[in-house]
Amino acid sequence: MRLYLLGLLALFSSVAAAYTLEQFQFDDPKQTLQFQKLIEELRCLVCQNESLASSQADLAQDLRTEVYEMMQSGKSRDEIVDFLVARYGDFVLYDPPLKPATYLLWFGPLILGALGLLVLARVIRNKRRAADRDLSEAERQRLQALIDDSDGDGKQA
């Protein structure tokens, strides 16, 4: 049983170690910071709400390794980003550029919010109109008479 548990522990620890950033070693600390900053700016294509730096997905690990190898081969940040965008599209960037292909991405939430406010305004306006139409003229006069006759605390004078 102990051997089985040790085997499981070894398996899980090797999986956890596979996703650490310590395996990416650079000669220059400046390059290490550039690598960390770059993988923070790139989106995991599997998780979608995580950066490459924080994602545990296998694809994210592959992309981190690819970015590392490109940096080791002397490619610049812009060359690496251009390569990833050409391969995976603007979605790989947390801050995609403003261009016709990304207008919906940038302005879609604003448009949906404006449409929601318009619908809400129409619903409220229609409710007010419906509330005004609920009472007949005779009922309105009777209600006004009741209001005029009360002394302010709800009791008749």
* d(C-alpha 133, C-alpha 127), whole Å: 10
Same domain, yes or no, for 72 and 131? no
Question: For the segment 79-101, what is each residue's pLDDT rounded down to a tens digit?
Answer: 999 999 999 888 888 787 888 88
Q: What is the CATH number of the domain that holds 49?
A: 1.10.8.640
Q: Residue 133: pLDDT band by 50, 70, 90 thresholds? A: low
Is residue 65 situated within a structural domain? yes
Tell me the pLDDT of the chain averaged across its residues. Answer: 81
Same domain, yes or no, for 25 and 88? yes
* d(C-alpha 62, C-alpha 23), whole Å: 13
Torsion angle in degrees (nearest 10) through CA of 128, 129, 130, 133: 120
The percentage of the chain sitting over the pLDDT mark of 90, rounded to a whole number, equals 24
Same domain, yes or no, for 18 and 93? yes
Tokens 């009472």 sit on residue: 135
Q: Which residue has the higher pLDDT, 157 or 80?
A: 80
Q: Which residues of 133-149 are buried (b: 16+ CB within 10 A; e: fewer)?
A: eeeeeeeeeeeeeeeee
User: Over 90: is that where the pLDDT of 113 sits?
Assistant: yes
Tokens 């949906």 sit on residue: 112
The boundaries of the domain holding residue 133 are 103-149
State residue 121's pLDDT score: 95
Same domain, yes or no, for 121 and 71? no
Tokens 């309105």 sit on residue: 140
User: Over 50: is that where the pLDDT of 127 sits?
Assistant: yes
* d(C-alpha 130, C-alpha 83), whole Å: 59
Same domain, yes or no, for 144 and 107? yes
Question: For the segment 35-57, what is each residue's pLDDT rounded down to a tens digit?
Answer: 889 988 898 888 878 888 888 88
Q: What is the pTM of this model?
A: 0.55
3-state helix, strand, coil in the chain (%, to 5): 70, 5, 30
The percentage of the chain sitting over the pLDDT mark of 70, rounded to a whole number, equals 80
**What are the two backbone dihedrals, phi and then psi, of residue 51, each rounded to the nearest 5 degrees?**
-80, 170
Is residue 157 situated within a structural domain? no
